[in-house]
């Protein structure tokens, strides 16, 4: 049990840490309403002008669309592969199980630039046309693990007896999946999918190496316009939007995976 002084010091340190992380983000959000083009601080006046300008920017809009498409594509692949991998690891024993589990986790630890260069080389060798599809494949390498982890944790928590009970009562493999396993897995998959989408949505390094010149995701668009003083307020608005859009899925996912099994049906 820490003493009162120690507790106060710890609280101060933690507060400082949180401020370092979140104050800059707050500044971005506030500045997106700052009427000054050069972000004079404190803002003398608030305006939604930049937001409407950003909304009308064709570059930003097409980038948003690409980002959403890439996110949805990568999430879909992650859901299918991640779920299948989780089943294989949680429900069956086979040679190399631990290694495969590790290999699935690895991409999230690998530096993005390594993954990016590797994928870029591979796509070149394979003669693939760079564009949305290559971005999706690139993103799914590290999105799979999020679905996989969520699904695996849920499957382990559920154990196998519910499935055995279902089979015992006469349900075949597919009926068991449809009526028992999937309903109990659904919220974990949803949470994993949201995280995967959020990760894909704000990814920039791998995207740089897997996209084509004409194809820009939101983060790429921001990066491209960062050093044009004219665009600064619009870039700031897009950044603010990106913050909100990335935080929301993570927050939702955390709420979903924390809920007790089967409480939501």
Partner 1 sequence: MTGPVQALRSPSGLDAGPGVADVRLEAVTKRFGDVVAVHELTLDVHRGEFFALLGPSGSGKTTCLRMIGGFERPTAGRIWLAGTDVTEVAPFAREVNTVFQDYALFPHMTVEQNVGYGLMVARVPKRERQERVEQALATVRLNAFGSRRPGQLSGGQRQRVALARALVNRPKVLLLDEPLGALDRKLREQMQVELTLLQRDVGITFVFVTHDQDEALTMADRIAVFRDGRLEQVGTPEDVYDRPETPFVADFIGTSNQAEGAAAVAVFGAEGHFALRPERIRVLDAAGAPDPGEVATPAQVVDVVFAGATVRRVVTLDAGPTWVVTAPAVDAAALPGPRRGDHVLLAWSQGAERRLG
Tell which one of 168, 213, 214, 230 touches partner 1 (CB under 8 A). Answer: 168
Binding of partner 1 by 172 (CB under 8 A): yes
Output Rg (C-alpha) for the chain, integer angstroms.
22
Alpha-carbon torsion (165, 168, 169, 175), positive or negative: positive
Confirm if 161 and 36 have CB atoms less than 8 A apart.
no
Binding of partner 1 by 17 (CB under 8 A): no
Q: Which is nearer to partner 1, 15 or 160 (CB)?
A: 160
Confirm if 143 and 253 have CB atoms less than 8 A apart.
no
Binding of partner 1 by 24 (CB under 8 A): no
Tell which one of 161, 213, 244, 258 touches partner 1 (CB under 8 A). Answer: 161
Residues counted in the chain:
265
Q: Which is nearer to partner 1, 39 or 177 (CB)?
A: 177
CB of 191 to partner 1, least distance (A): 17
CB of 79 to partner 1, least distance (A): 20
Which residues contact residue 251 at a Cβ distance below 8 angstroms, ignoring those fewer than 6 apart? none
Options 113-121, 132-140, 171-179, 215-223: segment touching partner 1 (CB under 8 A): 171-179
- Two tokens at 22? 């979140």
Site for partner 1 in 243-262 (CB under 8 A): 261-262
Tell which one of 80, 164, 226, 254 touches partner 1 (CB under 8 A). Answer: 164
Half-sphere exposure of 122 (CA within 13 A, CB side): 12
Tell which one of 48, 52, 121, 175 touches partner 1 (CB under 8 A). Answer: 175
How many residues touch partner 1 (CB under 8 A)? 19
Q: Which is nearer to partner 1, 93 or 129 (CB)?
A: 93
Which one, of 70, 175, 194, 94, lies nearest residue 85 by Cα?
A: 94
Burial of 62-79, coded b for 16+ CB within 10 Å and e otherwise, reads: ebbebbbebbebbbbbbb
CB of 189 to partner 1, least distance (A): 14
- Please state, in angstroms and rounded to a whole number, the distance separating the CA atoms of residues 187 and 259: 9
CB of 174 to partner 1, least distance (A): 10
Confirm if 89 and 105 have CB atoms less than 8 A apart.
no
Q: How far apart are the first and last CA of the chain?
A: 41
CB of 172 to partner 1, least distance (A): 6
Q: Which is nearer to partner 1, 40 or 165 (CB)?
A: 165
Binding of partner 1 by 198 (CB under 8 A): no
Binding of partner 1 by 170 (CB under 8 A): yes
Confirm if 230 and 213 have CB atoms less than 8 A apart.
no
Q: Give the binding site for partner 1 (CB under 8 A).
A: 161-162, 164-172, 175, 179-180, 183-184, 261-262, 265
């Amino acid at each position: 049990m820490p003493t009162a002084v120690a507790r106060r010091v710890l609280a101060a340190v933690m507060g400082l840490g949180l401020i370092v992380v979140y104050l800059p983000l707050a500044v971005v959000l506030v500045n997106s309403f700052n009427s000054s083009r050069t972000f004079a601080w404190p803002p003398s006046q608030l305006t939604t002008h930049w937001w409407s300008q950003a909304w009308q920017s064709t570059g930003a809009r097409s980038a948003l669309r690409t980002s959403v498409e890439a996110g949805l594509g990568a999430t879909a692949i992650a859901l299918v592969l991640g779920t299948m991998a989780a089943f294989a690891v949680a429900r069956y024993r086979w040679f190399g199980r631990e290694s495969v589990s590790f290999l699935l986790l690895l991409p999230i630890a690998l530096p993005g630039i390594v993954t990016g260069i590797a994928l870029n080389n591979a796509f070149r060798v394979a003669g693939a046309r760079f564009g949305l599809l290559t971005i999706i494949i690139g993103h799914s390498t590290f999105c799979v693990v999020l679905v996989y982890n969520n699904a695996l944790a849920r499957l382990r928590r559920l154990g196998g007896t519910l499935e055995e009970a279902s089979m015992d009562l006469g349900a075949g493999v597919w009926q068991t999946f449809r009526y028992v396993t999937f309903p109990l897995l659904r919220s974990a998959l949803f949470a994993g999918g949201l995280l995967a989408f959020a990760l894909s949505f704000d990814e920039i390094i791998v995207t740089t190496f897997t996209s084509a010149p004409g194809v820009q995701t939101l983060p790429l668009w921001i990066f491209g316009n960062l050093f044009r003083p004219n665009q600064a307020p619009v870039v700031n608005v897009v950044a603010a939007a990106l913050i909100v859009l990335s935080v929301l899925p993570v927050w939702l996912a955390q709420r979903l995976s924390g809920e007790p099994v089967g409480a939501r049906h």
